[in-house]
Structure 1
Amino acid sequence: MIDKAISNWKKIRRIPLAITSNVKESLSLWHAKSWQYLYLGKNWLFNFKSKYAGGLGLFFLAVLMIASAISFPALQNYLEPYFSQSGRLDSIRALFLSLGGAMIGATAIAFSLIMFAMQVNVERMPHGLFRKFSSDVKLLGAFTSTFSLALIITAFSLIPDKSWVSVATLATVWCSFLIILLFVLAYRRALALISPTMQLGLVVADTERDFKIWDRAIKRTTPLLRENANGGAEDDELRSKYDMDRVTYFQLHPNWTSSADQAIFYCIAFSRRYAEQGDHDVSRVALNGIVAVNALYIKTKGKTFFSNSYFFDNSLASDDFLTNTLEHLRQNIQVGVSRKDEQFIKQNLHSLLQLTQLYLSIEYGDVHAPRSHAHLVSGYLTSAVESVIPHDMADVLIEGVSLLGNAGRLIVHNDKSEYIATISEKIALIACTGAVNKNYQPVTQVAVKQLARLTFELLRSESWKVSYAIKEVRADVKLIAEIYLNIPDSQPTRVHSTSLAPYYSGTSNDTLMAWFTELANALSNAEPSDEAALRVVGHIEEWGDGLYQTEKELLLLAIEKRSQLTFDLIHWIVHITKLLLAVSCSDVCDDHHRDKLRKSAIWLINVLSWVPDDEETIKYLETFRIADNIFESAVDAHKLGCDIEALEIRSLLLSWARKVGKYQTGRASLESACCGLACLNLILELPDEKLFTDIDTYISKDDAPNFDIRSRTASDLHEEADKYRTGYGHSKIDMAMAHADQSRLSILLHGIAGHLCPETHHTEEDE
């Protein structure tokens, strides 16, 4: 009873604490919500002010004017009797005169200071802009308006009688108010004109206005041009593809881009000057202005762009405006390199990438025409990145390589895939610099990642044929790997594995293997009628074709150099084999692609059969558990329903057993391979006699293991057959043995041991 009372008392004491805690949580929640509503209100007010401040100002000004007009009769009734007395009219005349004179003086002083301050700040800009901003229409208009309003106030000192007092007073109040308002607006306008970002915005706006004028002029002239055009089938065909009226007009007026050319020159001047001063925010705005002007130019030019032809020269394919823009940016990068201004170089590289994207949107008459202008700017981008290599600017090079990868992906999605071969080659060559300059080793990793991304983008490209491009990218990755494998693989950094990790590593979600895995999973869920999925399957089949050759050469070289990349390559081969088989089993994959994918998968996994069989190599490879990897691949093939391929991989495991069984590796290598074969016999439901026959054939060959190795392995297999298993293991084979039918597994292991070394088996029976 006492314990129950104490327990009830404790529960009663907890009630106020719980109530207090709930109240605190509620107050804290309401406090947070109140601040959230306040922030939302402030953001709404800021956005509303940004959009409608000018309109609201004019609205309130109109309301005040209407209110003044309404109140005028009342003001007249009040002021007219007051100024009926003598002397009072003279005093207000004097007030108007002095106030007007003061306003005139204030206007002169204020605008002198404003204009002086503005000219001092803009005098270092290009001459054309200096003249433009020094004679700004809005600023001079504000000066004229304030001066005129001050004169009006002064003129009211001449009113003839008291009937004018109300009008003069109301007008003076409004003139004074407007003068002050114009002072503020003029001051803000001067600050805007002083701001280089505002100046650049005005340059772009003027260019846009000029292009609109030209566009309207073209539309007005089009009927005349069409009337004078030569008819005919050829002319009609051209007109169906190109805007020939616009082409003709531009040829008649070659100076139509003069305003845009000048705008580009101004933006370049601003970018260089402010970058030299360290103000990279302004230089970035200036370079963005170049992109904006180019966008306006492309929009105005419309369907008048011609692509380069492989069969004949087309003078209309060259575009001086675009070429001059690219030349200016190239010179900018040279200036940045000479100054060691890394940020300025990066900004110009970003501008080249933006222009690549912009030029890819150019409308050509021929739908299948190559995007020659985009290829031109991508060439400038690759040359610019290459020019940075000798100057030991790793950060810039990393950024440049990333931008090259972005440019390549843009071309894959907007043009023919084969045009990325040059970009891929340049990325690979830049990546190889890390082999001779340790400071550039991070560049290599970024470059390999870009090539991995390009590979993945090609796999899911909308093009129907990517075989050329995908093989070129694969060759470029191989080049990087070969270059790196010929330098020492320093420990513990593992330069080879680290540098090629984005392509070959399986320990990260940001690698080709991880992306390909997600893609294969998506294909397994695709409908058979999904054309996009079928196209991706075709790309994967093209990628898998000949893949074994590249990986075989790299694996053999990695083994020769005793590189840690060997581990990544082995696991990559096993996993990609699984993915190729998985794609071949998807519903969207047709028979043609299925056969080719499975053939590529088998050839890829059989790369492991090409490893040398000398003792040192075998001992080295056993650290990577080759038998376990081959076994895993066979089990994966069986799970996917590819039993024919699983049998071929089983043959590979038997071949590995023959290689590894000749040497004492110290890792029970032959025993592990035999256990794997026994498990595969059970998993694939093969007859026991097949395995025993394979073992007999194995030991009958000249390169069979000697008696000591067979005897020791047989003894270990007898022990393994009688071992109690807990359900866990250190390898795939151990796990498979733990989950297998133990009685059948024991029979198989005893049988293998007996066939490996009959002498030992008979000796044990005798005992």
Structure 2
Amino acid sequence: MASERLSAFRSLLVGIGASLIGATAIIFSVVMLAVQLNFARIPFGLFRRLSSDVPLLASFAATFIFGVVIGLCALLPDETWIAPAVIVSSWCMLAALALFFIAYKRALDLISPAKQMQIVLHKADRSMRRWEKRADRFAPFLENRPTPGVNRDIARASFFQLHPEWESDVREASSHMLAFARRYAEQGEYDVSAIALNGLVRINGRYISTRGDTFFASNPFFTNPLTTEALISDTLEKLRRLAMSAQGRSDEEQFIQVMSTLASLCGTYTHIDYGRKFNVELRHSQLAASYLTGVVEGAPRTFGPDVLMEGVRLLGQCALVLVQARRALGVITIAKSISTVALLGLVKPGHEPITSTAVQQLANLAFSMLRSEERDINFPSKEVSSSIRTIAHAVLLTADKPLASQHSAHLKPYYALTDYGTFGDGLRKLINAVIERPAVDDDAKRILDHLSAWSDGIHEGEKQLLLAAVNKQSFLALDLINWICHITKVLVVASTAPAASDHDRTELIRNAKRLIYVLDWLPDEKEVVAFVENFQFIEQLFEVTLEMHGKGEDEIAEAARYVLFRWSLKAGKYQTGWGSLARALTALCVLAVWKEGSGWVTWLKNEFTIRLPGRSIDEEIRKRAADDLREIAKNPSNDRYGLGSVGYHMSRVDRGRFAECMNAVADLLDPEAA
């Protein structure tokens, strides 16, 4: 009986071992077939790497061995070996089941695109770490001759030059990532393609870290072969081709992903150290930005406004990156590209939001340059302002709507003052923060210097734009008038900051004065006068003059007063229904008597005496205005003239001096009644 039980036990072990070997073969075949079918979608080089995965093959080999071990346990010589055979067989079966599960999980990982890309990234990172350690070990044995004025690791650069094959794994990983991105995008799996392109950015970042201080700045006088970076150029070129491929099949999602990748690389390349503290060129960041510029400018041939708006936002993002990295000169080309794309929104129906988005990006860029840590932003700042005005002039060539002005809507991010986040709103907050800084604050000094450079000559461009808006009778003229008055006050406030140097104070006051004088260029025509009077132009000039007069900024106050006086003679000779002559002279009289002893009353009488005869104001208009002035002087609380803010401040001045000034001006208008 014992021999029979031993024989049955041996048969059982043989059956289990044979079954395990057979199951191993079947499962191995099925799993490898499934894995290799999924591998058909990946690059050939990666197919060979993953289809011969060592952990997966080792698990099946171990399972096969466990089956053989169970079969060998059937060779036990007598009953005393049954217990050890049972223990060994049990452990082998449990281990085989565990290995089946591990192989299954490993197979799932291998066919997962995310895991595949993780394996690729891990291999590239491991390769770069290995070469980094080799460079650290062997670079000290190479001759390291320091170059005056250039802080570069020459020995490390020499090591990499002597071993060009060190980039092979990095290049292979980059190619695999781009292949993943294209293949899965063609299948509509954009989440996978996004992971691949993000991996490409990570590879470039790790490559820059590995290279360290071995990047060299270009020299305009001679060619340096060490400035060439084949890997970066190859990456950008392949991304351009991927964008063209996406455009060829009208794949909006992948096209946007490629643009986002180029923008990310632009930021990544700013971490490259070229060995210069000043005049950093950021050559590769600008190269990535130029590639993005070309991709965005080519997008209108295929894609709609959504893609272009995203492209414009990414261009603005690249420009901000360059400004923050102290390379403001690099934004000039980007700003021009943004303005070029913005014009498309004006000529192509349904693309209007592109223009507003472009102006928003340029407004953000203009504001960012005022806070830049770079010392000289004069030229790029003027170019950005010029790009905004180019868009504005193009906007004025389109039709406008009186109630919902499209012109104002397009240019709101830069010229509007009532909305949060506009250029004017940000500038006001910035200057309010600057004037609270102490005189020794370097950041405040730099911002004031940038503001002085930005405002220098701005009056000329705004004058041309205002005249174009007025002639077009666009409601953008209202925004421009408000903006000019607002910026004038901001410049004056900035000039009072403790950190402002004497030169900055002089420049800011001069620029503010030139800017407020822009309003004096409004044409002396009835249509223009009637149109501008709709915007409470007299009240706006009055408020600027009063505020500057109250703060003791006499130079700006007198300039604004002069513009208001000139406007009273321009608008006063026309019957527009606004009573412009009486309203303007009332405002001037309030200003004249605001401060006792200011001498403004005498100035007003003298100027009016000199200028009035040269103006062909109709006798009836003069008499009516004189009667209105006398009536207002007699009963200043009567608001039937709709004086607005002028009427409010009229109640705060000395009534006797005010009435005397008003009657004197009325007598000059109508000597007979006097």
What's the TM-score, normalizing by structure 1? Answer: 0.84
Within the candidate set 192, 202, 213, 2:119 is matched to 202
Query: How has the CA–CA distance of structure 1 residues 125 and 225 changed in structure 2, closer, same or farther, with 3 Å as cutoff?
Result: same
TM alignment of 1:573-592, pairs within 5 A: 573-592=484-503
The answer on whether the counterparts of 1:520 and 1:579 sit within 8 Å (CA) in structure 2 is: yes
Q: Which residue of 2 aligns with 1:632?
A: 543
Equivalent position to 2:605, from 693, 696, 704: 693
Gaps of 5+ in 1: 1-83, 230-234, 763-767
Counterpart CA distance in 2 for 1:641 and 1:102 is 102
Rg: which structure is higher? Answer: 1
Candidates 643, 665, 670, aligned match of 1:752: 665
> What amino acid sits opposite 1:286 in the alignment?
A
Letter in 2 for 1:735: Y
1:232-631 to 2 correspondences below 5 Å: 235-237=145-147, 241-368=151-278, 369-490=280-401, 492-631=403-542
> Could you list the per-position Cα deviations for residues 228-283 of structure 1 after superposition, in whole angstroms to 9, with x for gaps in the alignment?
x6xxxxx3227962222222222222222122212222112111111111111111
Question: Structure 1 residue 115: deviation in Å?
Answer: 0.9
2:258 and 2:612 map into 1 onto residues whose CA distance is 70
- Structure 1 residue 742: deviation in Å? 4.3
1:178 Cα deviation from its structure 2 partner: 2.1
* Pair 470,261 (structure 1): closer, same or farther in 2 beyond 3 Å: same
CA distance in 2, matches of 1:639, 1:478: 33
Amino acid at match of 2:209: K
Distance 2:669 2:149 in 1: 83
Matches within 5 A, 1:40-79: none
Q: Which shifted more, 345-354 or 663-672?
A: 663-672
**Cα distance in 2 between the residues matched to 1:276 and 1:738:** 74
Residue 101 (structure 2) pairs with residue 188 (structure 1): no
Counterpart among 712, 727, 732 of residue 645 in structure 2: 732
Is 1:117 aligned to residue 37 of structure 2? no
User: Contact 2:605 / 2:664 at 8 angstroms: preserved in 1?
Assistant: no
| Cα 1:205–1:97 shift into 2, 3 Å | same
Cα offset, 1:470, TM superposition: 0.5
Counterpart contact for 1:482–1:554, Cα < 8 Å: yes
- 2:672 partner letter: E
Q: CA deviation at 1:700?
A: 3.9
In the alignment, residue 395 of structure 1 is paired with which amino acid? D
Kindly provide the amino acid, as one letter, of the partner of residue 272 in structure 2: I
Question: Which residue of 2 is the match for residue 96 of structure 1?
Answer: 13
CA root-mean-square deviation: 2.2
Q: Bigger shift: 559-568 or 390-399?
A: 390-399
- Aligned-residue offset at 1:578: 0.8
Q: Tell me by how many angstroms 1:366 deviates.
A: 2.8
Most deviating of 213-222 and 582-591: 213-222
1:708 aligns with 2:620: yes
The change in CA–CA distance for 1:177 and 1:578 in structure 2 (over 3 A counts) is same
Q: Does 1:648 align with 2:559?
A: yes
Distance 1:691 1:364, change over 3 A: closer
User: Does the Cα contact within 8 Å between 1:671 and 1:713 map onto a contact in 2?
Assistant: yes
CA contact (8 A) 2:457 2:511 kept: yes
Residues 83-162 of structure 1: pairs in structure 2 closer than 5 A:
88-162=5-79
Deviations 1:313-359 (A, max 9, x none): 11221111111101100001111111111111110000001111111
* Rounded Cα–Cα distance in structure 2 between residues aligned with 1:427 and 1:257: 36
Count, aligned residues: 671
The 8 Å contact of residues 726 and 738 in structure 1, kept in 2 or not, is answered as: no
SS in 2 for 1:683: coil
Indicate how the Cα distance of structure 1 residues 758 and 491 shifts in structure 2: closer, same or farther if over 3 A, else same: closer
- With over 3 angstroms needed to count, the CA separation of the structure-2 counterparts of 1:162 and 1:533, relative to structure 1, is farther
**CA gap 1:390/1:138 in 2 versus in 1, 3 angstroms:** same
- Counterpart Cα distance in 2 of 1:244 and 1:588: 43
1:46 aligns to what? Answer: none
Alignment match, 1:177: 94
In the aligned structure 1, how far is the partner of 2:80 from the partner of 2:445?
91
Judged with a 3 Å threshold, the aligned counterparts in structure 2 of structure 1 residues 212 and 726 are, in CA distance, closer, same or farther, namely farther
Partner AA of 1:136 in structure 2:
D
- Does the 8 Å CA contact 1:662/1:704 hold for their aligned counterparts? yes
Q: Please state how far the C-alpha of 1:164 moved relative to its aligned partner.
A: 3.9
The structure with the greater share of residues assigned to helix is 1
Whole-angstrom CA distance in 2 between matches of 1:262 and 1:695: 81
Separation in structure 2 between the aligned mates of residue 238 and residue 177 of structure 1, nearest angstrom:
69
Query: Following TM superposition, by how much is the alpha carbon of 1:725 offset from its aligned partner in structure 2, in angstroms?
Result: 3.1
CA distance in 2, matches of 1:643, 1:396: 51
Amino acid at match of 2:366: T
Of 582, 586, 600, the residue aligned with 1:675 is 586
Sequence identity (%): 37
1:212 is the counterpart of 2:212: no
Deviations 1:621-646 (A, max 9, x none): 11112211111111222344313321
Q: AA paired with 1:723?
A: N
Deviation readout 1:1-22 (Å, 9 max, x if unpaired) = xxxxxxxxxxxxxxxxxxxxxx
Tell me by how many angstroms 1:300 deviates: 1.6
- Following superposition, the deviation at residue 100 of structure 1 comes to 2.4
For 1:448-478, what per-residue CA distance to the aligned partner results, in whole angstroms no more than 9, with x for missing partners?
1111111101100001111011111111111
1:708 maps to amino acid: E
Native 8 Å contact 2:488 2:516 kept in 1: yes
**How many angstroms apart in 2 are the aligned matches of 1:665 and 1:572?**
25
Q: Using the alignment, how far apart are the partners of 2:181 and 2:606 within structure 1?
A: 76
* CA drift at 1:375: 1.3
Q: Which amino acid aligns with 1:181?
A: A
1:571-626 residue CA offsets vs partner (Å, 9 max, x unmatched): 00001111111111122222221111111111101100011112221111111122
User: In structure 2, how many angstroms separate the alpha carbons of the residues matched to 1:415 and 1:750?
Assistant: 60
Please give the secondary structure, in 2, of the residue aligned with 1:510: coil
CA contact (8 A) 1:271 1:286 kept: yes
C-alpha displacement at 1:436, in angstroms? Answer: 1.9
